[in-house]
Every structure is written in structure tokens, then in C-alpha cells.
């Protein structure tokens, strides 16, 4: 599987996230000869246990994330950050969890936008929006390097591409920048060869950063 980095938009102090930034980012991809391939969508749920007293079950995680990825439609990924654990399951697990009522989805967020092909790279740029809302909570960008599945071997070319991207985007004078979070995937038991589990972990960490740093615009 090709190596992928998940970046998020970090506004400058006092700035907010808006559709203008999303639109400018998409236009920037096209300005450097990115070819639009179509739409993409992913979803994330925060789960919490349905317990009256958590102290009677101290071994259960207090919360975890469930993630569905656009390029893995038959799978579902759970990330338990407190235990540094990532698990792949069949997509039908979501229906099973609803019936069992052991954990309940407290917050649901989706990512949607467009994907582009740019030489050996595939880019996906999209907004982060709570379900049943149109208020943008953030912007994410996936950068995928198609020829290589080794994270270490792809690192230099990925870094160079992101630098080129930052330079192109800086000409638009936007108040903020896309940030890549350095992760130790070994903590989650993941090796150098890239897998969808790596993507799941990145989305979990990116969401934590966005919640901590991003102020949404009032609308669009």
C-alpha cells in the first residue's frame, strides 16, 4: 500500500477555518497541474462505554475512535490511543456495536472533498464537518506517494513534495499552514511497511490536534 501522510490546517493565532481556505487549497492543487479524479469521503466516530459506573470495569477503555476510510470501504478501524492500539475489523462491526449497546457513538465527524492525481502523488483535500452540521471544524489533506510502501524510503520525497506544496500555497497569503504530525508508529505495533492502520492512527492524532487548536468559523 502506498505511503500516506495526513496533514491538517493549523490557522494562525486568532484566525478561523473557512471554506475559502478549502477552495484556495483545491485551486492550488489544480494550479500545479493536479488532475481532479472525483470526490472522496471518510468518517470518524468517538465511542464511549455505556456504563453507569466505569470503576466497576477499569479494564475497559474510557473512549476510542472508529474510522472508515475512502480507500478501504469494506473495513473499519478502531484506535484506542490510551492503550496505543489499532485494530482492523469488517465494516459490519458498526451495526453489531449498535445492537450490543456496549459502546455508543458520542460524536460523529465526516471528511469530504476532492482527490487529485499529480504525477506519482495522489492528494485528497477536504473539510472536517460534524454530522448534521455544515460548520467546518477543520481541513485535512492526504498526501499519498504511489510508488513506495516503505515509510522510511518515502520520507525524503514526501518532505520535498510538502515543501513544494507549502511554497505554492504561500503565494495565496492564507492565514495558516498545513501541518504534518511526526508519529512513532512503532508504539502502535506498526512496522515500516505502510498499511491502512497507519492511516487510522494518523486521523486519530490529527483530530486530537485539531480539537485542541482550531476555532471554527461561524458558517462556511
For each of the domains in the chain, give its residue range(s) and CATH number, in order of start: 3-40+112-219 (3.30.310.180)
CB 151 within 8 A of CB 145: no
Measured distance CA(155)–CA(158) in Å, rounded: 5
pTM of the predicted model, to two decimals? 0.88
Which grid coordinates are listed for 54? 466505569
The mean per-residue pLDDT over the stretch 29-45 comes to 94
Chain segment 171-216, per-residue pLDDT in tens: 998 989 999 988 999 999 999 999 999 999 999 999 887 766 544 4
Tell me the mean pLDDT in the region 155-170. Answer: 95
In the predicted model, is pLDDT for residue 142 greater than 50?
A: yes
pLDDT value of position 215:
47
Query: Looking at residue 97, what is its pLDDT?
Result: 82
H, E, C per residue of the chain: CCEEEEEEEEECCCCCECHHHHHHHHHHHHHCCCEEEEEEEEEEEEEEECCCCHHHCCCCCCCEEEEECCCCCCEEEEEEHHHCEEEEEECCHHHHHHHHCCEEEEEEEEEEEEEEEECCEEEEEEEEEECCCCCCCEEEEEEEECCCCEHHHHHHHHHHHHHHHHHHHHCCCCCEEEEECCCCHHHHCCCCECCHHHHHHHHHHHHHHHHHHCCECCCC
- What cell does 170 get? 504561500
Mean pLDDT of the chain: 88
* Residue 131: other Cβ atoms inside 10 A: 12
Amino acid at each position: 500500500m502506498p505511503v500516506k501522510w495526513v496533514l491538517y490546517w493549523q490557522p494562525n493565532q486568532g484566525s478561523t477555518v473557512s471554506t475559502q481556505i478549502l477552495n484556495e487549497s483545491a485551486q492550488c492543487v489544480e494550479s500545479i497541474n493536479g488532475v481532479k479524479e472525483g470526490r472522496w469521503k471518510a468518517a470518524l466516530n468517538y465511542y464511549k462505554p455505556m456504563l453507569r459506573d466505569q470503576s466497576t470495569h477499569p479494564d475497559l477503555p474510557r473512549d476510542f475512535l472508529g474510522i472508515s476510510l475512502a480507500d478501504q470501504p469494506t473495513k473499519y478501524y478502531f484506535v484506542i490511543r490510551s492503550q496505543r492500539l489499532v485494530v482492523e475489523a469488517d465494516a459490519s462491526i458498526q451495526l453489531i456495536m449498535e445492537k450490543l449497546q456496549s459502546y455508543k457513538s458520542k460524536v460523529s465527524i465526516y471528511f469530504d472533498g476532492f482527490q487529485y492525481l499529480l504525477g506519482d502523488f495522489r492528494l485528497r483535500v477536504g473539510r472536517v464537518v460534524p454530522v448534521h452540521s455544515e460548520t467546518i471544524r477543520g481541513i485535512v489533506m492526504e498526501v499519498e506517494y504511489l510508488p513506495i510502501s516503505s515509510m522510511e524510503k518515502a520520507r525524503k520525497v514526501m518532505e520535498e513534495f510538502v515543501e513544494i506544496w507549502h511554497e505554492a500555497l504561500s503565494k495565496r497569503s492564507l492565514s495558516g499552514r498545513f501541518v504534518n504530525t511526526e508519529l512513532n508508529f512503532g508504539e502502535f505495533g506498526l512496522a515500516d511497511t505502510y498499511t491502512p492502520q497507519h492511516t487510522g492512527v494518523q486521523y486519530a492524532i490529527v483530530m486530537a490536534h485539531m480539537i485542541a487548536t482550531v476555532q471554527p468559523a461561524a458558517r462556511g
